[in-house]
Structure 1
Amino acid sequence: MKKKSIVALLTTGAIATATPFFMDFLARWEGREYVVYADKLAGGLPTVCKGITKWTSPYPVVVGERWSKEKCDAVEKQVTVETQQKLAMCIRNQGITQHVFDALSSHAHNVGVNATCQSRAVRLINAGKIKAGCDALAHGADGKPVWSYANGRFVQGLYNRRLAERELCLNGL
């Protein structure tokens, strides 16, 4: 019998999307920019608000364009909810908590839902090894940092984010 994803938990409200806590956590790592800029860590990808790009935005993201606070609020919420709904489709362990889901959501917001869903962290969590899955957000099986590189170079800020996601995830145990 195939295990169900956590979509049922989202439907019942046991796990929530775009919570104020999560949006604050995201802001800690993404910041908030109202003028679209070329993100150097993402190869010049136009980015605005809390990490909104052309890959997630329902609107064009053009370098130099100014977005209002209201537009950022609306798009951030829409993108967050859509990201979390897609993420829920690949998480099969219904025993996770809001903190575990939020940690995975931050990871997905930063590296993409598909990458997070295919990650070692999600595989471990789905196998019931939640602590090991939380650890895998920041470290490989060899103990070395993962998801902390841009253009082949280690970035301390990305590693700090991975450590914060790991800590948030572990707080959910």
Structure 2
Amino acid sequence: MQLVPNWRRALEMRSVQIMLLTAVLNTAGSVWSVFIYAVPLWLWGAVNVGLMLAAGYARLVLQPTLHQDRPHWRWRRDAGKARPTAVAVAAMLVLATPLAMQWEGKRNATYLDIAGVPTACYGQTGASVKLGATYPDSTCDAWLRQELGERYQQLAQCIPVEMAPHQAAALTVFAYNVGVAGACNSAAARYARAGDWPRACRAIQLNDRGQPAWSYAGGRYVQGLANRRAAERALCEGRAPR
């Protein structure tokens, strides 16, 4: 629950005081102008209009949010951001986990990757991975599911549209391999945001000219990557990956 900020609540409460003050001054000003003529009518009119505008703004713009748990400005800031539910994440993981396992490969014992970083299981790194350690399959599987879930949450921020489980799974495994930044800036993400899923799924494997996409490493075509892209595309299209 998001509470109304203190400064905003104070302004909102002031709106009532402004309206009461306006009513009192209206009455006093009318009596003063009519019976005493000590204040020019144009001056009183200008003051009165200013107070009425201030009260109207406070009443119409600020006051409506007084009894709301989520202010309008907070809702606008959050608008368009997809927040996958636990059910959506679980459905995605059912399809994404076996595909990632198939293509990532697993090494239970910690090793140093090409950059000298301690790595284990399905390419996991970080403080939890220790040199000389060997991790059971259950730990490797849990780490993989956790990272896939994180990738999906990140991916949903740049593709804030509804995705079927197989589409979410395919893009998540794709992002797990090429990185979230690469996936979010890809043609697949662009077409997905536009709701063009046939092209989005195709773009995982092929570019708009029909040439292999995301199948190169160090500037060289890698058949293993091409095969992986084909499997991710098949899942995205609802077909059984090979």
TM-score, length basis structure 2: 0.59
What is the count of residue pairs matched by the alignment?
Answer: 163
Runs of 5+ unmatched residues, structure 1: none
Q: Which residue of 1 aligns with 2:145?
A: 77
* Shift in CA distance, 79/137, structure 1 to aligned 2, threshold 3 Å: same
Structure with higher Rg: it is: 2
Root mean square deviation, CA, Å: 2.6
Q: Does 1:170 align with 2:237?
A: yes
Work out whether residues 35 and 66 of structure 1, in 8 Å CA contact, stay in contact via their aligned partners in 2. Answer: yes
TM-score for the superposition, normalised by structure 1: 0.80
Q: In structure 2, give the amino acid aligned to 1:155.
A: V
Amino acid at match of 1:70: S
Q: 2:179 aligns with which of 91, 94, 112?
A: 112
Q: Which residue pairs with 1:100 in the alignment? A: 167
> Which string of whole-angstrom CA distances, capped at 9 and with x for unpartnered residues, describes residues 34-79 of structure 1?
1234556xx6765421232x3xx452465x6433333323322221
Corresponding position of 1:49 = 121
Q: 2:120 is paired with a residue of what secondary structure?
A: strand
| 1:36 match: secondary structure | strand
Tell me, in whole angstroms, the C-alpha distance in 2 between the residues paired with 1:146 and 1:83: 20
| Cα separation, 2, equivalents of 1:147 and 1:45 | 24
SS in 2 for 1:70: helix
Cα deviation for residue 109 of structure 1 reads 0.6
Task: Specify every segment of 5 or more residues in structure 2 that has no aligned partner in the other structure, as ranges.
Answer: 1-75
Change over 3 Å in CA distance of 1:3–1:168 after alignment to 2? farther
> What per-residue deviation string (whole Å, max 9, x for no partner) do you get for residues 110-163 of structure 1?
011111011110001101111001000011111110111111111101000001
Corresponding residue of 2:158: 90
Q: Quote the Cα distance in structure 1 between the aligned partners of 2:80 and 2:144.
A: 28
Change (3 A) 1:38 1:163: farther
CA contact (8 A) 1:3 1:92 kept: no
Which structure has more relative contact order (CA 8 Å, sep 6+)? It is 1
Letter in 2 for 1:35: A
SS for the counterpart of 2:151 is helix
Distance 1:74 1:136 in 2: 30
Tell whether the 8 Å contact from 1:18 to 1:80 is kept in structure 2 after alignment. no
Which one has the bigger strand percentage? Answer: 1
Give the match's secondary structure for 1:13: helix
Match of 1:29 in 2: 103
The code of the aligned residue for 1:72 comes to C
The structure 1 residue matched to 2:190, chosen from 123, 126, 146, is 123
Q: Please point out which of 80, 85, 88 is paired with 1:4.
A: 80
> Which aligned segments of 4 or more residues in structure 1 are displaced greater than 6 angstroms?
none
2:148–2:176 CA contact under 8 A, matched in 1: yes
